[in-house]
Amino acid sequence: MNCIFCKIIAGEIPANLLLNTEDVVAFPDLNPQAPTHILIVPKIHVENAAELAEMQPNALAELFKAAKKLAIELNLPGYRTVFNTGEAAGQSVFHAHLHLLGGRALGWPPG
Ligand code: AMP
């Protein structure tokens, strides 16, 4: 399967793994949108968050637990977690991933 995140999980493409558990990995986004921008990715290949909820709900919870752990480690006073679902919402990699953003004031509504 030609999936960039599956290749990172398999160790075929290098990434700075900040977290590597049974179900989840986390690494910095290549094109950061904030001083902290980490992708938290389930090891199972599913297209989006809704599919992950159906296929492996425990891993979905693990993504949010990982976000909390990383935010504490990085001393973030607050942070934003985002799933983009579908091209119209900006999804470009079709392997589910949670964006963790922080380290600056984050405006609302998002763009
Ligand atoms: P999305 O647009 O929500 O699908 O998010 C995909 C994210 O993956 C984008 O923010 C990209 O910058 C990021 N990305 C793509 N390839 C890599 C890579 N090899 N390592 C780290 N981040 C990546």
16 within a domain of the structure (yes/no):
yes
Is the CB–ligand 1 distance for residue 26 below 6 Å?
no
Based on the residue annotation, tell me whether 97 is a catalytic residue of this protein.
Answer: yes
Residue 110 counted as domain residue: no
Q: d(Cα 35, Cα 14) in Å, to the nearest integer?
A: 21
User: Looking at residue 30, which CATH number applies to its domain?
Assistant: 3.30.428.10
Ranges of residues in the chain with a pLDDT under 70 are none
Domain region containing 71: 4-102
CA of 64 to the centre of ligand 1 (A): 18
What is the pTM (predicted TM-score) of this model? Answer: 0.98
Is residue 72 in a domain? yes
Cα of 58 to ligand 1 centre, how many Å?
A: 23
What pLDDT, in 10s, does the model give residues 10-32? 999 999 999 999 999 999 999 99
Answer yes or no: is 65 within a domain: yes
pLDDT at 111: 80
Residue 83 falls inside a structural domain: yes
